[in-house]
C-alpha cells in the first residue's frame, strides 16, 4: 500500500520532517508557484504551509484527496477555512508555538521605547555621541496596560512584573479570579488608556477589534505614554497613530505588524518616535521549530482519523483533561449504536451527556459519537471534520443534550436515535473506577454493565428456560469462546437482552443459525474498531 502524501510547500525546520516520521511520502514544492502547487496537490493527502502559500477555494478544489491543511504558525489569513470545511478538509495551526517569542518581542519593544535603543544605536553608528538626547525612563513603578489577557498577555504580565511595574488589563472575557491569580488589576479600556505609561495590545483581529485603538482612544493616553502592537496589523488605526505621533499626543509607538505588509509606502516609517520591525513576532528558531513539530504531529493524527486538538474548523478546540477520556468511549458507543441500527436508515440521533461532565465543553463528544456511528457504515475514512458532513448528507438530524442530573453514575453518555422504520435504538456508557474502565450501561432500555471488547454480540429474545444453553451450545460447537455474558430483562417471561463478549469474530451463518434456534428479535455482532 502506498504511503499518504504529505506536501511541504514552504521552508520548515528539519525537525518538522522528523516529527512526521517514516509513515508518509514527504514531497516539497514552492507554494507560491501556483502551477507547480496545483500539480502536486492532485495527489496530496496533507499540505504544510506557512504564510506565503494561498490555500484558497481554487487550491482546495485542485486537491481531491486532501484531508488536512496545516499552517505552521498562528494566523490563517492564507487559508479559506469555509471552503476547506465544505470539502471535508481539516485545518490546523500551531496556536501556542510563538507565544513566548511574541511576548519577548513585546518586552523588547517596550525596553527599546523606554531607552531609545534603536535610535541611539543608529546615531552612534553615524559617529554621533548624544547621551543627553537619548535619556530614557525606567520601567520600575511604571504602569503597563495590557489589552487582551490571553496566553501572550499573561506571559507579558509575568515578565513586566519582574521589572517592578504595575500591570493593569482590559479583557472583556477575563474573570476577576483569573486576574487576581495573575496579579493584574482589571479595568475598562478607557481607564487603561488614561492610566498606562505603556499600552500593549494582544487581541485577535475581528470586525469588532479592527481599529479599536483609534483617534479617540489615543487622545485618552498620556502625552508621555507609548503604544505597542505585535499582535495583528490594523488593531491600531495607522492613520490616527501617525497623526498622534506627529502632534505629540503620545510619546511614541512600537509596531511589528501593519495593515499592509510590507508597509512600503507607510508614512509611519519616516517618524523618529516609532520603532518598527518586519513582523518578527514568530521569527525565532525556537518558535519556527515548535510550529513545524506541532503541525506535523497534528497531520499524523488527522491522517489516522484521530481527534486533533489544534483543528480550527471542528468544535472542541482545546479539550479539558476531564473530558478527554470520554472521547474513545463515545466513539465505541457510536459503533455499537450503528450496529444496533443497521436494519434501517438513521433519521436522527441525540447525544445525551449527564453528570459532572456538563460543567465542561463537551462539544467534542458529539463529533466522537458521529465518527463512531459512521466508521463502519461508509467507505471513506471518517474523521472529526467530515463526520458532521456525512450526517448532513444523509439527512440525519443531530442534537446535543446535557443534563447535570445523573442518578446512577457520576457521568453517563447516551446515544439515542430514531430509524426510518419507526423504531428506536439506544446505547449508554460510562467510565468506572480509578482506572476509568469503559463500560456499556444500557442497550435499548435494558440496564447492563458490560466492559467493551473487540467482538460483541447483542441478542433480544423472549425470556424462557434453556435459552442460554441453546446459544451456548451453538457457539461452543463452532469453537467460539464466550469471554463474558450479561442478561437483562424487565420482567420474567418478557423480553430479555443478552450481551456477549467473544474472543473471535462470529461467522454470519452462525449468527443466523443461533437467531433461528432461539427465535431472537435482534441478533447482531458488533466489531469494535480501536
User: CA 231 from chain center: how many Å?
Assistant: 20
| Domains of the chain with CATH codes | 5-95+286-303 (3.40.50.720), 99-276 (3.40.50.720), 317-446 (3.30.1330.90), 453-530 (3.30.70.260)
Collapse the DSSP code of 58 into the 3-class scheme (helix H, G, I; strand E, B; otherwise coil) and give the result: helix
Average pLDDT, the chain: 90
Give the pLDDT of residue 380: 57
Per DSSP, the residues of 152-204 read: HHHHHHHHHHTTTPEEEEE-TT--HHHHHHHT-EE--HHHHHHH-SEEEE---
Give the pLDDT of residue 156: 96
Give the pLDDT of residue 202: 92
Is 232 marked active-site? yes
Collapse the DSSP code of 48 into the 3-class scheme (helix H, G, I; strand E, B; otherwise coil) and give the result: strand
pLDDT of 75 > 80? The answer is: no
Residues in CB range of 352: below 8 A, 6 or more apart: 401, 402, 403, 413, 414, 415, 416
In tens, the pLDDT along 53-73 reads 999 999 999 999 999 999 998
Q: What does the alpha-carbon distance between residue 388 and residue 313 come to, in Å, rounded to a whole number?
A: 12
Sorting pLDDT into bands at 50, 70 and 90, what band is 420?
confident
Percent share of the chain, pLDDT over 90: 65
Residues in CB range of 461: below 8 A, 6 or more apart: 467, 495, 496, 498, 518, 519, 520, 521, 522
Beta strands in 233-332, from DSSP E residues, in sequence order: 252-255, 274-276
In tens, the pLDDT along 218-264 reads 999 999 999 999 999 999 999 999 999 999 999 999 999 999 989 98
Report CA-CA distances (Å) from 3 to 22, 24, 207: 9, 5, 42
Report CA-CA distances (Å) from 253 to 102, 226, 270: 16, 5, 13
User: CA 492 from chain center: how many Å?
Assistant: 50
Q: What does the alpha-carbon distance between residue 361 and residue 321 come to, in Å, rounded to a whole number?
A: 11
Pairing of strands 424-432, 411-419: antiparallel
Catalytic residue among 138, 141, 239, 261: 261
Ramachandran angles phi, psi of 10, nearest 5° = -145, 170
Give the pLDDT of residue 317: 47
Residues in CB range of 307: below 8 A, 6 or more apart: 301, 316, 319, 327, 364, 367, 368, 384
Rg of the chain in Å (alpha carbons): 30
Give the pLDDT of residue 507: 87
Query: Could you tell me which of 2, 7, 11 has the C-alpha nearest to residue 67?
Result: 7
Phi-psi region of 138 (alpha: psi -120 to 50; beta: other; left: phi over 0): beta
Catalytic residue among 71, 109, 202, 279: 279
Catalytic residue among 109, 159, 202, 232: 232
Name the DSSP letter for residue 478.
Answer: T
Q: What does the alpha-carbon distance between residue 18 and residue 486 come to, in Å, rounded to a whole number?
A: 48
- The separation between the first and the last C-alpha atoms of the chain, rounded to the nearest angstrom, is 21
Ramachandran angles phi, psi of 484, nearest 5° = -160, 155
Crossing angle of helices 508-518 and 467-477, rounded to 10°: 160
389 or 272: whose pLDDT is higher? 272
> In this predicted structure, which of 14-23, 84-93, 327-336 has the lowest mean pLDDT?
84-93
Is 261 marked active-site? yes
Query: Could you tell me which of 122, 125, 62, 71 has the C-alpha nearest to residue 93?
Result: 71
Per DSSP, the residues of 304-348 read: TT---TTBSSSTT-SPPTTTTTHHHHHHHHHHHHHHHTTTS-EEE
In tens, the pLDDT along 276-322 reads 999 999 889 899 899 999 999 999 988 887 778 778 776 434 577 78
In tens, the pLDDT along 443-475 reads 999 999 999 999 999 999 999 999 999 999 999
Amino acid at each position: 500500500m502506498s504511503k499518504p502524501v504529505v506536501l511541504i510547500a514552504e521552508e520548515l525546520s528539519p525537525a518538522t520532517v522528523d516529527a512526521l516520521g517514516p509513515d508518509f511520502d514527504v514531497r516539497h514544492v514552492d507554494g507560491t508557484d501556483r502551477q507547480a502547487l496545483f500539480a502536486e496537490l492532485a495527489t496530496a493527502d496533507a499540505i504544510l504551509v506557512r504564510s506565503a502559500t494561498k490555500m484558497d477555494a481554487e487550491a482546495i478544489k485542485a486537491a481531491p484527496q486532501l484531508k488536512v491543511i496545516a499552517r505552521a504558525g498562528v494566523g490563517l489569513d492564507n487559508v479559506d477555512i469555509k471552503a476547506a470545511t465544505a470539502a471535508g478538509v481539516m485545518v490546523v495551526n500551531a496556536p501556542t508555538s510563538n507565544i513566548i517569542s511574541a511576548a519577548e518581542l513585546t518586552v523588547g519593544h517596550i525596553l527599546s521605547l523606554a531607552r531609545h535603543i534603536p535610535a541611539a544605536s543608529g546615531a552612534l553608528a553615524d559617529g554621533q555621541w548624544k547621551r543627553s538626547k537619548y535619556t530614557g525612563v525606567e520601567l520600575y513603578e511604571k504602569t503597563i496596560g495590557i489589552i487582551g489577557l490571553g496566553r501572550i498577555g499573561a506571559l507579558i504580565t509575568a515578565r513586566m512584573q519582574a521589572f517592578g511595574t504595575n500591570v493593569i488589563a482590559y479583557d472583556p472575557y477575563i474573570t476577576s479570579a483569573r486576574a487576581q491569580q495573575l496579579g493584574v488589576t482589571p479595568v475598562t479600556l478607557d481607564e487603561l488608556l488614561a492610566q498606562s505609561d505603556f499600552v500593549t495590545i494582544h487581541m485577535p483581529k475581528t470586525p469588532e477589534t479592527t481599529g479599536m485603538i483609534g483617534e479617540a482612544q489615543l487622545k485618552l493616553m498620556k502625552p508621555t505614554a507609548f503604544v505597542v502592537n505585535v499582535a495583528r496589523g490594523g488593531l491600531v488605526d495607522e492613520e490616527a497613530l501617525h497623526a498622534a505621533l506627529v502632534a505629540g499626543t503620545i510619546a511614541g509607538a512600537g509596531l511589528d505588524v501593519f495593515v499592509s505588509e510590507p508597509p512600503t509606502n507607510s508614512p509611519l516609517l519616516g517618524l523618529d518616535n516609532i520603532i518598527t520591525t518586519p513582523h518578527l513576532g514568530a521569527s525565532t528558531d525556537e518558535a519556527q521549530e515548535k510550529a513545524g513539530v506541532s503541525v506535523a504531529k497534528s497531520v499524523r493524527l488527522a491522517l489516522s482519523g484521530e481527534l486533533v486538538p489544534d483543528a480550527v474548523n471542528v468544535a472542541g478546540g482545546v479539550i479539558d483533561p476531564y473530558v478527554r477520556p470520554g472521547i474513545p468511549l463515545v466513539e465505541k458507543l457510536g459503533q455499537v449504536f450503528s450496529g444496533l441500527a443497521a436494519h434501517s436508515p438513521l433519521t436522527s440521533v441525540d447525544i445525551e451527556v449527564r453528570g459532572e461532565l456538563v460543567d465542561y465543553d463537551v462539544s467534542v463528544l458529539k463529533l466522537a459519537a458521529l465518527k463512531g456511528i459512521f466508521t463502519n457504515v461508509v467507505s471513506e475514512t471518517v474523521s472529526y471534520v467530515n463526520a458532521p458532513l456525512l450526517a448532513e448528507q444523509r439527512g440525519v438530524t443531530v442534537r446535543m443534550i446535557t443534563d447535570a442530573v445523573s442518578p446512577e453514575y457520576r457521568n453517563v453518555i447516551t446515544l439515542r436515535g430514531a430509524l426510518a422504520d419507526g423504531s428506536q435504538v439506544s446505547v449508554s456508557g460510562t467510565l468506572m473506577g480509578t482506572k476509568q474502565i469503559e463500560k456499556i450501561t444500557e442497550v435499548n432500555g435494558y440496564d447492563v454493565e458490560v466492559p467493551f471488547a473487540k467482538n460483541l454480540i447483542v441478542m433480544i429474545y423472549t425470556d424462557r428456560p434453556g435459552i442460554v444453553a441453546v446459544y451456548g451450545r451453538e457457539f461452543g460447537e463452532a469453537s467460539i469462546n464466550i469471554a463474558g455474558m450479561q442478561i437483562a430483562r424487565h420482567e420474567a417471561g418478557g423480553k430479555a437482552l443478552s450481551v456477549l463478549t467473544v474472543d473471535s469474530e462470529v461467522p454470519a451463518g452462525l449468527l443466523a443459525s443461533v437467531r433461528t434456534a432461539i427465535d431472537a428479535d435482534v441478533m447482531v455482532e458488533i466489531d469494535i474498531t480501536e
